[in-house]
Amino acid sequence: MRTMGLLLGTVLLIATVACHSTQVRIPTAPVGPNEKSLGPTEGSSVGLLLFGFIPINQNERFERAYNQAVQQKGGTRLADVTISERWWWGYVINGYIFKVQGTAVAKK
């Protein structure tokens, strides 16, 4: 019985140490007459927080994810942008995964 309780507690702990945000749509300008849509794209970037206060790749993770999404299709910007974030916790390190999705746009 004790083993079963320990196993159940471990499973619950593992299931609750990571979270995912809801997706948020960012208002952007629509595709203009001098632009063409290159199709859907996405990018992601990871940042870490060591000991709860030492940031590692935290400040630029939003920009890196956006640039990765734009460059993946060879565009100049994104339209219909949706962002989300996942995060997890460890004893000495926390991870934050930022994801950008959208439609790549380039000039004609």
pLDDT at 100 over 70: yes
Is the whole-model pTM more than 0.75? yes
Flag whether 86 is in a domain: yes
Whether 76 is covered by a domain: the verdict is yes
Show the CA angle centred on residue 18, arms to residues 100 and 50, nearest 5°: 85
97 inside domain: yes
Is residue 28 domain-resident? yes
Rounded to the nearest angstrom, the gap between the alpha carbon of residue 103 and the centroid of all alpha carbons in its chain is 16
Q: Which residue has the higher pLDDT, 1 or 43?
A: 43
In-domain check, residue 70: yes
Placement of tokens 């460059």 in the chain: 71
Does residue 82 contact residue 37 with C-beta atoms inside 8 Å?
Answer: no
- pLDDT of residue 12 exceeding 60, the answer is no
Q: What angle do CA 91, 96, 97 make, to 5 degrees?
A: 140
CA atoms within 13 A on the CB side of 13: 8
- 44 is a domain residue: yes
How high is the pLDDT of residue 45?
Answer: 97
Residue 7 lies in a domain: no
| Higher pLDDT among residues 100 and 21, named by residue | 100
pLDDT at 14: 59
In a domain, 6, yes or no: no
Average pLDDT, the chain: 88
Residue 44: which CATH number?
A: 3.30.110
Domain count of the fold of the chain: 1
Average pLDDT over residues 76-96: 92
Query: The domain containing residue 77 runs over which residues?
Result: 18-107
Count each helix (H run) and each strand (E run) in the chain, helices first.
2, 6
Question: Alpha-carbon distance 72 to 51, whole Å?
Answer: 34
Q: Supply φ then ψ for residue 50, to 5 degrees.
A: -90, 130
